[in-house]
Each structure stands twice: as C-alpha cells, then as structure tokens.
Homo-oligomer: A and B are copies of this chain.
C-alpha cells in the first residue's frame, strides 16, 4: 500500500486552514450557509474572503486570498463560474494546496462551461494544486470538522465519526444520506461529493480511502467513472485490504437515460461495470438502504469462510423468514449434526427447537441465547450466524448484549479466527436502544430478516473473493488484531 496518494490528498480532509472565497453576509446564500456550517464544525483556522465585507459571523474577512497573512491549505470557492478562474490563479500565487469548487456552471451546462472547466484545470495544474469539483458539495470529515456542505443543520443532520468512507457522484443524495445516517446512528470517516471530477479522480479517492486508517469500508454512489481501466486497477489494489461497496445507478434503460441527463453518464454500459465489479471483488449494492446496510456489515464484521448460515432466534416466525431470505440469496441454512442438536437440546427449553433455525422461543432467558451461540460457533458446522434476540420478551435482560459478546470473543480467541454475526431487531424504541448497543459492540443490527440476510450474503461474497485471491487468512488476522484478539 503506497503512501503517495494519501499524502497528496490528505490536506483536503485534514487542512490546517481553510479560506472560503465568496463568503456572504446574507443568510440563505451558499456563501453564508457553508461558512456557518464550517465555523460550527471545523477545528482549524477559517479565512472568509469577500472584497465588500469586514466581518461575517464574527470572523475577520479578507478582500482576497493574497491578503491572508498566513498559509492556506484549502480554498473553498463559491463565486460564480466565470470568476472562478481568477480566484484559482490567486490561489496558485498564494501557494494554496487544494481547491474545492462548489460553484456550478461548468461542463454540466454545455460547451461554454466545458471550455471554462478546461481553463480551470490548466490553472490548477500550472500551480501544482489539486481540485475537487467543480459543481459539487465537497467534503465532510466528522473527525476534523472539515465541512463544505451548505444545507442548514436544522434541515439536515450530520453523522458522527465512524468507519465508512462515503463517496457520492450526486450531491443531493450525499446530503440526504448524511441526514439519514445521522438519525440511524451510523458514523462516517470521510465523505466526498466530487461533482464534475475535473482533477481529483475516482481512482485517487479510492486509493486514498484504502490507505486511510480511519476507514474500514468504502461505500460509493456512482453513475459513471471517467477512466474505467484505471478505476478497475485501483479497485483490484483496494479490495484485498478493504471491502468496497458500490451502488452504480443507471442499470436499466430508464435509469441510464436519466443518468445521461443527470451527469452525462454513458448509457448501456452497465454490463461492463458489472463484469469489472465481479472481477475486482466489489460488493454491488442495489439500493440506497442496501449501500449502507452492506457497508455496515462489511465494516464491522469479518468476511465468512463459507456459506453455511445458522439462525438463532427468539421468534419462530422471524426464524422462518430469515431462513427464506437466506435461501433465496443462495446461502445454505444447513441441518445441524445430531451431536450439535443434542448439545443444543440439553441447554434449551423443552418447547424450543434445537434444529436450524435454533428457536429458543419467547419463553427464553439470556442463557439460552448465550449457550446456543457458543455451541453453534464451536460446532464447525456454520460459517456465519444471524441472531434475532427479541429484546422485548420478558426473559431477556439488559445484560444480554454484553454477555453474548463476551462469549463470542472468548470462542474466537480459542478458535483463532472470527465467524461473522449479524442481528435482527424488529421493533420500536426499547428494541432500537439495545440494537444500538449491540452495534456499538460490533454486531450490525437490522430491522428485518431480509436486510440481515443481504448483509450475510455480502460477507460470504467478500470472503469468497478474498479466498480466491488468497488474501482471506491475512485479512482475518488483521481483523482479529483490530478487535483486540
């Protein structure tokens, strides 16, 4: 894993100082809203730039970039497109390292905009700067507070620090997903919406995320990539180390038509993308929720060594639905050996079902789930587990998650390798509270069996890929270290 990409892009995500060129005094304008968000989140120094203002939001304003007395790592530019070139030249003179051009009015509006974009690239390159955008919402990094998103916090939530790096070709979708992730309690390491991708490329960002220690999994929404071959090579260099989940839109005739008028993506290329994803170990997501469902599982859990899945449930019906969902995805829900069935029978209630699904029933207490998971993990007969703890039933106590995780880790330590576990918790606030607790301990929890089954499928597929390229064992070793075993 080289360090070149990491060093060359890091200032965008962790700048020591940021200038906002086009800062505005008028609430509602992008130049105001962006500055307000940045001020609220960012921990470094901010230099608003506007020749007509002295102070905005309590910050001293500079008439231009050159008049700023200190170094500027990143200039965020929100002035109208025709003025961007001059600002970029100023930035170059000033020694700014990177530009994030929020402004639209470039390639996406036609030939004249494309010409402007060409000039912009020339200026950027001539000064050795880097550029994200134009026509984008930029970056958001919870850890450093770097934030160029401009929707007001009363309309859009911002997720906290986490392990998912998220890249979106669509700014609006990116914002909406931030908002949703914040409510869902999902954290992200870095977000980039890179608009027209005039300079910093698909593959550079991918490799940057690969080398980013805060990122465990890379989630992307794309409609097209600029250079398919380079991107494919970068994917192959990434997936041995970190899972990549891609939601590629424009899969159908209508979708491709829509993508063409949205980002100018070429229609009819989906089969090419699909083949490239398959040959580079990419996990493909098929929807908005799916993208984050799968990323959550791949970020928190290890890949599976095989496709035999055990279902451990408190609710019989949910066990049936889970078995259906797993089977429909081509995964096995195998019958357990007589030996394992007998071991389970000994620890369970007489009305419980010791087969697979293991149904401890609504009369269960914590011990039934804990004893069962130990037997299942030690059996050598399962490669992954879906558990459905039904926190709401009378016999389940608030101690369940802690005790469950303790046993799971003990078994992993003895086995010397991990077995992936995902959970299902259907319900309201009480259930959501304990589901969140389980997630904070490393087990992704889904609202329905069907979503948990898709998560397991992703872990099986990624394990199969790593196994094929002979990287599974080293990945699992790194995973064990990461969870402290």
Contact = CB atoms under 8 A, between A and B. Distances in A.
**Interface core residue of A262, A315, A319, A326 (most chain B CB under 10 Å):** A262
B171 A318 contact: no
A29 to B, nearest CB: 9
B392 A179 contact: yes
Contact of A316 (B177, B263, B325, B327): B263
B448 A327 contact: no
6 contacts: A175-B392, A176-B427, A179-B392, A223-B317, A255-B320, A288-B318
Contacts of A429: 157, 183
A449 to B, nearest CB: 6
**Interface core residue of A168, A247, A287, A451 (most chain B CB under 10 Å):** A287
Contact of A393 (B172, B254, B288): B172
Interface stretch (A11-19, A56-64, A353-361): A353-361
A261 B172 contact: no
A8 to B, nearest CB: 28
A284 to B, nearest CB: 13
Nearest to A137: B362
Interface stretch (A44-52, A148-156, A408-416): A148-156
A289 B450 contact: yes
A326 B429 CA distance: 32
B250 A447 contact: no
Q: Which 10 A-B pairs have the closest CB atoms?
A: A170-B317, A252-B327, A172-B315, A255-B324, A254-B333, A287-B450, A262-B316, A183-B428, A173-B317, A179-B427
A331 to B, nearest CB: 9
A443 to B, nearest CB: 18
Contacts of A253: 327
Interface of A: 28, 33, 104, 109, 151-152, 154-157, 168-173, 175-177, 179-180, 182-183, 221, 223, 247, 249-255, 257-259, 261-263, 286-290, 311, 314-321, 323-328, 332-333, 335, 351, 353, 355-357, 359, 362, 390-394, 426-432, 447-451
A448 B259 CA distance: 18
Given A157-B430, A286-B450, 17 more contacts: A151-B394, A170-B317, A172-B316, A172-B318, A172-B393, A173-B426, A175-B392, A176-B431, A182-B428, A249-B317, A255-B323, A255-B324, A257-B323, A258-B357, A262-B319, A288-B450, A290-B450
B328 A251 contact: yes
A172 B326 CA distance: 20
Given A151-B392, A287-B448, A448-B289, A315 B176 contact: yes
A258 B170 contact: no
Given A155-B391, A261-B353, A328-B252, A432 B183 contact: yes
Given A288-B321, A288-B450, A320-B250, A171 B259 contact: no
B321 A255 contact: yes
B321 A427 contact: no
